[in-house]
Structure 1
Amino acid sequence: MVIHTDMFRGKKVLIFGLGLHGGGVSSARYFAKHGATVRVTDLRPRLLLLSSIRRIKKGSVSYVLGRHRTRDIDWADVLVKNPGVSWSSPYMEYARRKKIRIITDIGLFVEHVRAPVIGVTGTKGKSTTSALLAAFLRTRWRQLMLAGNALYSPLERIDTLSSKMPVVLELSSWQLEDAAYTRWSPHVAIVTNIYPDHLNRHKSMSEYIAAKELIVRFQNRGDIFIANKENPYVKLIAKKTRATLIWFSKKPFKTGDGVFLRNGMIVSRTGDSEREIIHSKYLRLKGRHNLEDALAAIAGALVYDIPKTAIHNVIKRFIGLPGRLETVRHLNGITYVNDTTSTTPQAAMEALRTIHGPIQLIAGGLDKKLPLGKFCSEIKLRSRVVILLPGSGTVRMKKFLLRLGVKYHLASSMVEAVHLAKIHAEPGDTVLLSPGCASFGVFLHEFDRGDQFVREVAKFA
């Protein structure tokens, strides 16, 4: 056990944001289990939160849903902030004025955990990198925990963790900000890449980069930073680190330790010594970006001396995660691919470049205030049919596409989008859901968007 079980006994704990990905659920269960009086508040109505509520023991917590109230903050001894709630929220400002203790699940975890933590962040690829690295490490530690971001709260298993077995945490920029008050960085930090994202929450690109940089800010000389040598923003962060630097790259590099690709072979170098690990042809992941994810995960595995044979075995069976260039069906010569997690233009462009042959693209959604010009040019170059989902990002995309002379179809729902794709599809086409935008408004979240796509495609006879 790493947190004293009586720390919150008898305390009034307000979970500020239940959410739909499980973090709020884990927090509510954790504090209720340890004797706190727990109240949950969320702006969403009860109907939209039923899937989360059903995972919490009936009667163990109370709920205030569809609104936030300052009197709930007044009631609390401790406020547990969901990562989706900004620190600049007027409710957080009110809590600070009232001197209510504000904590986060990730902050509480890193303050008290004694296990070595491997933290993975990046604009794109952090989920795949985290999952693949965890698969490598589980060849040695079968019970290794993978948590964070859209997975589940690390509080879920904090009472049972060994101090010797590492933990893999996938960390968003919001979670890194949530951990910053503890002045913590992981023992091993991995940054997959940095591209413009979340500029609807962060005020500028420099603010977004500063949030990502928190993953290494409090590292020391005994720590390790695994960094993308081809990404200029990551290289800027690498210049500031005190940790041991390990690079990864799709291109050979002449100086420094790390993992790189040479003539298709993945090679590891430490000092003057090089060794071949595995040929990239054995990777089952699609796309150049996924190759980078594999290099980063292999670099992490080698830090923990995972043998080549174990790396080989995992690589050959690892097929990736749902919603990430996931082929969900082949029917009548048409391939259907779910890439719903491409919520940025950069990620969607990588998906377009990965697919060979004619593409019917389903894209659009909520605006994240990111540059769309290059994405729309890539759409013109690579898409035979374009179908746009509703949203403020779509409004901006339409203007770019019109200037480029690209025709498009508008769909009011995923049902309509998939129906339009079926009408226009021809043998040899790939119907690709790769939105390049956020999902909120029409969908509960990006995974709901992908699930709806998969369900509609499954209905085809």
Structure 2
Amino acid sequence: MGNPLCPGRAGNPEGEVMRRIGILGLGRVGRSLLSYLMDKDVEILLYDENPQALAHRRVRFAIDNRKARAIDNPADLKQADLLLKSPGIPNEADWIRKLDEAGVRMIDEIEYVWKELGEPMTVAVTGTNGKSTTTAWIAKVLKAAGKKAFCGGNISPGRPFSEALGHRRYEAYVIEVSTFQLERCPSFRPNIGVLLNITADHLNRHSLEGYVNLKLSLFKNHRAQDRAVLNADDENIKKRLEQVKGQHILFSLQRTDVDAYLKEGGLFLWDRKIIDRGNLPLAGLHNAANALAAIAVAGEFNLPQEAIGSGLRKFKGLPHRMQYLGKLKGREVYNNSMCTNPVAFYHSVRAFDEPSVIIAGGTEKGLTLEPFIQGVKEQARFVVLFGENAERLKKILEKDSRFSSCVTVTSLRAALQAALTHSSEGDRILFSPGFASFGNFRNFEERGNAFIQAYRELIRET
């Protein structure tokens, strides 16, 4: 156990007194940190590039009651002893670069909270796809076994890690961690690190090599007793196993000479069958892999076999991840708005044995379209394209892939109506964008909620 950092010595491993802490970004993470720090003997500086962020009632209360001070010019943040940076703010931003050059200590919420809690038992989950589902699934399994487990981090919807600061102590902290967070976690060392997969993503902020190295940095501080739960099927992980510190715990859909594996329709931990794949509540081989990762973590806690199976079965999934909405004119409708890259699209559409009528499109992030095109060819009865790249995708599908069963629309309601027109009773309509939401929505949640709203409106009209 390390020593708590705040008050007085917040965020500083050398023990130098910290009296002035800046919060950069006042979204849900920044506001959670503000709530915690207001009760501490520190001066709080607040900065957000969006002035509207200062209007939030929690932020306004802190400013009006002189518990925090808003900063207009980011150069004034140089006076801070410590800066807590939102992962949504790019390191390449000019004002961030200048603060770095000035030598101001700047870390992520994950690093700060982990230190503040005294370096507790932590399970940290990262990867390109499946992070949120696996994080929540692990926590569900631990709770089914009677463990007091906190579930949070980058998971959305969910709780920031900093919300754990105001709660009772937990036996385990299960958190999702993104590459953007790992950029500012110099000493973070989870007891169990989980790396699900690595495929190209976020190339608008990272090079591919930089992205891979950031994922692997989850293990950079591991010691001999720490565990690394790794996907033995992932090529990017297999090539870099020797870079991963700690004890390797492997899971696989293809091999049986590992710790957690799929065999003859069952999910096994060592030589024990935990559950039949058919009894998992979530469809698709990718979710079987996520379940194996959860099983591997459960094994490190020495949980009873029955409790592991029970926790796996009780998990019902998260909003916007293959979320079943119900039937619309005899068609099953699924909301998978969290699908934000072509590889995730490919795995999502293959979760079902039969082809679907698919609604897709959004904002590209510099990634190859090949997985998207392949998914359409294999699993689409018809495709409705919506979003910033809709026309571009239509041309590619029609010209290069000779797939002409597609139309473009300008709203999600129109997309759902088009999907109804081009489907029959008994078909499945799958909203699985395959691209980011920036062009039309603030995030995948807002996009998913808009789709749900369109579904409900059409239900009321039928």
Q: Same fold (TM over 0.5)?
A: yes
With 236-245 and 436-445 compared, the bigger mean Cα shift is at 236-245
Task: Check the 8 A contact 1:266/1:278 in 2, yes or no.
Answer: yes
**Residues 166-186 of structure 1, C-alpha deviations (whole Å, 9 max, x = no match):** 21111111112221x22x331
Moved more, 402-411 or 306-315: 402-411
2:346 and 2:387 map into 1 onto residues whose CA distance is 20
Instruction: Name the CA distance, whole Å, in 1 between partners of 2:51 and 2:408.
Output: 29
Give how far 1:396 is off.
4.7
Given that residues 2 and 159 in structure 1 are in contact (C-alpha distance below 8 angstroms), is that contact kept between their aligned partners in structure 2?
A: no
Contact residue 377 and residue 404 of structure 1 kept, 8 A: no
User: What amino acid maps onto 2:21 in structure 1?
Assistant: V
Aligned to 2:327: 330
Partner SS for 1:354: coil
Other-structure match for 1:117: 122
Structure-to-structure mapping, 1:313-324, within 5 angstroms: 313-324=310-321
> Shift of the alpha carbon at 1:382?
2.3
SS of equivalent residue, structure 1 residue 219: coil
Tell me the distance in 2 between the aligned counterparts of 1:454 and 1:159.
33
AA matched with 2:128: T
Q: What one-letter code is carried by the residue in structure 2 that aligns with 1:336?
A: V
**Hey, what does 1:3 align to over in structure 2?**
5
Counterpart position of 1:153: 160
Which has the larger displacement, 414-423 or 119-128? 414-423
Q: For this pair of structures, how many residues does the alignment match? A: 442
Partner of 1:447 in structure 2?
Answer: 445
User: In the alignment, which residue of structure 2 is the partner of 1:424?
Assistant: 422
| Counterpart position of 1:411 | 409
Aligned to 2:195: 191
2:249 counterpart SS class: strand
**1:126 & 1:141 partners in 2: Cα distance?**
23
Deviations 1:413-432 (A, max 9, x none): 32332233233332122221
- Is residue 185–residue 214 contact of structure 1 (8 Å, CA) maintained in 2? no
Quote the Cα distance in structure 2 between the aligned partners of 1:305 and 1:350: 31
Would the aligned equivalents of 2:252 and 2:262 in 1 still touch at CA under 8 Å? Answer: yes
Q: Which residue, out of 79, 82, 85, partners 1:78? A: 82
Q: In structure 2, which of residues 330, 341, 345 is the aligned counterpart of residue 344 of structure 1? A: 341
**When the two structures are superposed, what TM-score results if normalisation uses the length of structure 2?**
0.88
**Counterpart contact for 2:38–2:62, Cα < 8 Å:** no
1:13 maps onto 2:25 in alignment: no
CA contact (8 A) 2:223 2:245 kept: yes
Q: In 2 relative to 1, CA 35–366 (structure 1 residues): closer, same or farther, beyond 3 Å?
A: farther
Q: Which range moves more in the overlay, 396-405 or 310-319? A: 396-405
For 2:167 and 2:181, the matched residues in 1 are separated by 22
Partner of 2:292: 295
Q: Does the C-alpha gap of structure 1 residues 298 and 185 become closer, same or farther in structure 2, counting only changes over 3 Å?
A: same
In the alignment, the residues of structure 2 paired with residue 388 and residue 72 of structure 1 have an alpha-carbon distance, to the nearest angstrom, of 46
- The alignment status of 1:400 with 2:396, answered yes or no, reads yes
3-state SS of 1:451 partner: helix
Q: CA deviation at 1:449?
A: 0.5
1:106-185 aligned at under 5 Å gives the runs 106-112=110-116, 113-150=118-155, 151-158=158-165, 160=167, 162=169, 165-179=171-185, 181-182=186-187, 184-185=188-189
* Aligned match of 2:14: none
1:358 shift after superposition = 4.4
CA separation of 1:382 and 1:281: change in aligned 2, threshold 3 A:
closer
Partners of 1:141 and 1:165 within 8 A in 2: no
Measured in 1, the distance between the counterparts of 2:98 and 2:434 equals 35
Query: Cα distance, 1:12 vs. partner?
Result: 4.1
Residue aligned with 1:13, SS: strand
**Structure 1 Cα separation of the partners of residues 51 and 331 of structure 2:** 39
Alpha-carbon spacing, 1:276–1:454, altered in 2? closer, same or farther (3 Å): same
Change (3 A) 1:221 1:398: same
Deviations 1:30-81 (A, max 9, x none): 22232444343333462xx59x9245572444557xxx73344346443221
Amino acid aligned to 2:22: L
- Residue by residue, what CA displacement relative to the aligned partner does 1:200-239 show, whole Å, maximum 9, x if unpaired? 1102x11111000011122121111111111111222322
Alignment-derived partner of residue 262 in structure 1: 263
Paired residues for 1:274-313 under 5 Å = 274-313=271-310
Structure 1's 139 and 317: CA in aligned 2 closer, same or farther, altered over 3 A? closer
Does 2:389 correspond to 1:382?
Answer: no
Q: What secondary structure does 1:306 align onto?
A: coil
Q: Distance in 2 between matches of 1:383 and 1:250?
A: 25
Q: Give the superposition deviation at 1:377.
A: 3.2
1:87 aligns with 2:91: yes
**How far did residue 306 of structure 1 move?**
1.0
Amino acid at match of 2:374: S
Q: CA 1:222–1:74 in structure 2 vs 1: closer, same or farther (change >3 Å)?
A: closer
Q: CA deviation at 1:246?
A: 1.2
State percent identity of aligned pairs.
29
Query: Contact 1:413 / 1:442 at 8 angstroms: preserved in 2?
Result: no
Provide the secondary structure at the position in 2 that maps to 1:178. coil
